[in-house]
Structure 1
Amino acid sequence: MRVERSLLIGHIISMVFGLAGLLLVLPNTDFINALPDFGKTAFGWSMAGGGVVYMLLGTSAVAVYAYRTLGLWHCLGFMIPAIGLSLVSELLGTSTGFPFGHYHYLSGLGYKIAGLVPFTIPLSWFYIGFSAYIIARAGLETLAIHKVIKYVGAIGFGSLLLTSWDFVLDPAMSQTTVPFWIWEQPGAFFGMPYENFAGWFGTGVVFMTVATLIWRMKPLTLPTTQLGLPLAVYLGNFGFATITSIAAGIYIPILLGLVLGILPLAVLYQMATAQPRAIGSEGLEAEII
């Protein structure tokens, strides 16, 4: 747990430094020009690798958490589909325009797989997707409904929370002083095509469905008293996107994200944590899935 906390703190601190660089330093060219040579070199390194660091820390924090609370099978059972299938979607998107629309990545997010998709992008799908899904799954497990409805609901809410984060992130990050990706055919939603969000939701549904099927192969005990890390990861990344959007003067996506993301997240988290113990393969609330 100390390792998890350290990784989480590093993840959040690196996002704060990233925000400072994007919103305070980059627009101030006089400040950058006044830096000594070593300062300019350090700034160049931070711009080239800052995004990579915070995503690696987020991935590591969630991976360690998933391994500790769920075990290796369920950790890898979510991680591998999330990273693999999101990478397939991103490669298709950047090469064909399906399922997100026509766009391409610029520099700043690390080595590009096949020259198209930064290797950190599938990692972000994993750690945000897992954080959203585990809270949705734990919350719905408290309801006295058929287990299939719980599974479908967790996939649906998890994908909605994942997409709600992108509502706020995508318009801002493609319109900052130094954008990280560019839309070749700008759409009607603050420069985003609506199909982008359908692609996000659909990709989330696909890899969360695969993970759900894999998780059914072995007994699972869901953590209900230890959901703080996934909650902090989701809120921290949502906050990063929100501040970036405010700086860009983009507000409607924030409202959508709050209504479709933060509100259901809060309800599901409260449902899960109101239970006295973990839900799963042991105890009176046990269910072999």
Structure 2
Amino acid sequence: MKSFASAQRVCFVAHIASLIFGLAGLLLVLPHPEFIAQLPDIGRTAFSWSMVGGGAVYMISGAAAVAIYAYRQLGLWHWLSFMIPALAVSLSAELLGTSTGFPFGEYHYLTGLGYKIAGLVPFTIPLSWFYLGFSAYLIAYLGFRKVTKGWLAEMGAILMGSVLLTAWDFVLDPAMSQTTMPFWAWDQAGAFFGMPYQNFVGWFGTGFVYMSIATLLWRAQPKYWLESSLVEPSASGLPLGLPLGIYLSNFAFAMLISIDGEIYPPILLGLLLGVLPLMGLYRLATGKEPTAQHFQLTDPQFTDPQLTNPQLVDTQLVDTQTLARVAASAKAAE
């Protein structure tokens, strides 16, 4: 597993580095063509390549980092049962949107984001739906598990995860379509900085659909530390630093481009509906219960074999149905 941890770290660092490099190119270099003209041939070639393929690099590295994280921390089932619906639903929505205008409005992609599937949607776009959606959903999921459980927690995670995803688009869409170097263009006039309000309804709906599918699939093979609110993520071996870093770094990337384009109201909306709730849910998910009394589960039937850390459970929060499900799963695996 150490090799996976190293690969995750490399991909995350590459993701952050490509975001920073992209910002430098878009905000500092591109507005000054005289600087580009003074570069040696290799420098101009590198800059030209970065403008053509840099967007693809940051999305591929981000998706790889989150995929490895999901596999390491949640296991193969929980990783694939989120990623596959996210990729399939988002690609279908994007292909439908670029062909018919539903559900986002009429738009088309330009260059700089990689090969276009069916000549319409860059293959990297579904990857961004996956890694940002997963990061938002997981933090919301574990946050809501601390205050409730059952279908209420699941519905709260789906709704809040979709809101966090849409809040990111408040700053992303203006940054990517209304500034110096656009990556897509709107074919219909919209009231929200050139974009139709329908776009955000489409974002929320797309996120809601694939997060709902993932929730149902996760329910089919529950892990007891995800299925109930009886452990803290830190005790379960589930750190949330990477999902938090993915969301905040991508939000900051779009926010800085929007600031450069003097597009301010979407930033405020994104902060209010995205960053602030995210930080609250993160604190809720990782905060300690002040009166919790924990014991170590030494009985093999309650030990998750995919995790190397000892599993700690709050005796005040354990319910018999959850323990019965854990025991039944363990016996079925024997």
SS in structure 1 at match of 2:108:
strand
Q: 1:107, 1:4 → 2: CA distance?
A: 28
1:4 and 2:8 matched? yes
CA contact (8 A) 1:163 1:197 kept: yes
> Which of 90, 104, 107 is residue 103 of structure 1 equivalent to?
107
2:195 maps to 192
Offset of residue 186 of structure 1:
2.4
Q: TM-score, normalised by structure 1?
A: 0.95
1:29 and 2:33 matched? yes
2:166 maps to 163
For 2:211, the aligned partner's letter is M
Offset of residue 37 of structure 1:
2.0
Offset of residue 9 of structure 1:
1.3
> Which of 269, 272, 281 is residue 285 of structure 2 equivalent to?
272
4+ runs deviating over 6 angstroms: none
How many aligned positions are there? 286
1:224 and 2:237 matched? no
Q: 1:174, 1:154 → 2: CA distance?
A: 30
Q: Residues 28-177 of structure 1 correspond to what in structure 2 (within 5 A)? A: 28-143=32-147, 145-177=148-180
CA offsets 1:203-233 (integer angstroms, 9 cap, x no match):
0000000000000110223372200000000
1:261 maps to 274
Q: 1:111, 1:87 → 2: CA distance?
A: 13
Offset of residue 275 of structure 1:
3.6
Q: CA RMSD in A?
A: 1.7
> Which of 1, 14, 17 is residue 13 of structure 1 equivalent to?
17
Q: 2:193, 2:175 → 1: CA distance?
A: 9
SS in structure 1 at match of 2:220:
coil
For 1:267, the aligned partner's letter is G
Q: TM-score, normalised by structure 2?
A: 0.82
Offset of residue 22 of structure 1:
0.6
Name stretches of at least 5 consecutive residues in structure 2 with no aligned partner.
Answer: 227-231, 295-301, 305-310, 327-334
For 1:5, the aligned partner's letter is R
CA contact (8 A) 1:22 1:176 kept: no
SS in structure 2 at match of 1:131:
helix
For 1:56, the aligned partner's letter is I
Q: 2:28, 2:139 → 1: CA distance?
A: 34
Offset of residue 27 of structure 1:
1.0
- Bigger radius of gyration among the two: 2
Offset of residue 3 of structure 1:
2.4
Q: 1:146, 1:59 → 2: CA distance?
A: 29
For 1:125, the aligned partner's letter is W
1:239 maps to 252
